[in-house]
Amino acid sequence: MTRIDFYHLQKTSLEQVLPKLAEKAYATKKRIKILVGTEERVEFINSLLWTYSEESFLPHGSKKDGFVEDQPIFISASEENENGAALLILVDGAEPEVSKLNDFERVLNIFDGNNEAALNNARTYWKEIKTQGFELHYWQQNMNGSFEQKV
């Protein structure tokens, strides 16, 4: 059964949180797919992962970089699992068809809780996938920016 974790941002931006979560995911030695809500944001996220820290390195790429099936972390706006990933990270409102979630061991859905539309979309998506019997977890940032699991 696929585990799905919702990450409710309140104190920090996606640009601050995504690289850290991607590092943790990459440490599992499993392939990762980052599904972006729009094609226009793919190269922004690609660039972010190259430049977020001088001390870190996350091997990744997009369709533009080629070698799609060889990318340990692949960034795309397509719902297809092009690199055979076990982990899926959803950003910028990406919400794949519920049936596609079964292709992954774990899904991280990161959304901006300060954006009313993003918050409402995340709530709606939670309700939709909850009816399908997935293992759901909800993490919300506290005042310090750390994530706390809510029950």
Q: How many independent structural domains does the chain possess?
A: 1
Return the amino acid letter for 137. H
Note the pLDDT of residue 151: 82
Along the 151 residues of the chain, how does pLDDT read in single tens digits?
899 999 999 999 999 999 999 999 999 999 999 999 999 999 999 999 999 999 989 999 999 998 999 999 999 999 999 999 999 999 999 999 999 999 999 999 999 999 999 999 999 999 999 999 899 999 999 999 999 999 8
Q: Give the whole-angstrom CA distance, residue 90 versus residue 78.
A: 11
Residue pair 4/101 in contact by the 8 Å Cβ criterion: yes
Helix (H, G, I), strand (E, B) or coil at 97: coil
Describe the strand order of the beta sheet including 73-76 as a list of residue ranges: 61-62, 73-76, 32-36, 87-91, 106-112, 3-9, 135-141, 147-150
> Other CB atoms closer than 10 Å to residue 16's CB: what's the count?
13
The residue range of the domain holding 98 is: 3-150
Residue 138's domain is classified under what CATH number? Answer: 3.40.50.10110
